[in-house]
Amino acid sequence: MLETGPSPNDLVGQANLPRNDRPTNNIADTGPWYSIVWGVAASTLMHELGHNMGAVQNSAPHATGAGHCYQNDVMCTYDGGSYYQRGGRMTACNEGETHWNLYNSAFLSPN
């Protein structure tokens, strides 16, 4: 995933996104996955690391179709994905996700 800043020519980060939407035994828990951030906000680092840990799968309920979401979240951005091409807009976050979620990541879980 390549991420841009305010201008499409401002590259601010890049990360691997392992494509697997199983809620458990997910390839994202195996690593190693890599990302790079070029001197910008901490939220960009969180965003790129989120990709490394499996966010956002295109099958997720609020996916844009291009590796991001359209909720108010660090993983959400206008990425030109199919959701936005159909006229979609950013929305508030909802609970109760049934797909891969960073909360379940082996790298973040205390178990």
Q: Three-state SS across the chain?
A: CEEECCCCCCEEEEECCCCCCCCCCCHHHCCCCCEEECCCCHHHHHHHHHHHCCCCCCCCCCECCCCCECECCCCECCCCCHHHHCCCCCECCCCCCCCCCHHHCCCCCCC
Highest mean pLDDT (candidates 23-27, 61-65, 105-109): 61-65
CA-CA distance, 42 to 29, in Å (whole number)?
23
Q: What would the pLDDT profile of 88-104 be if each residue is shown by its tens digit?
A: 888 776 555 667 767 66
Q: Output the CA–CA distances (angstroms, integers) from residue 75 to 18, 38, 106, 111, in the order listed.
A: 15, 17, 18, 24
- Residue ranges making up the domain that contains 98: 1-111
Q: What would the pLDDT profile of 44-71 be if each residue is shown by its tens digit?
A: 888 898 899 888 999 888 899 999 988 8
The pLDDT of residue 9 is 62
Higher pLDDT, 18 or 3: 18
Question: What is the number of domains present in the chain?
Answer: 1
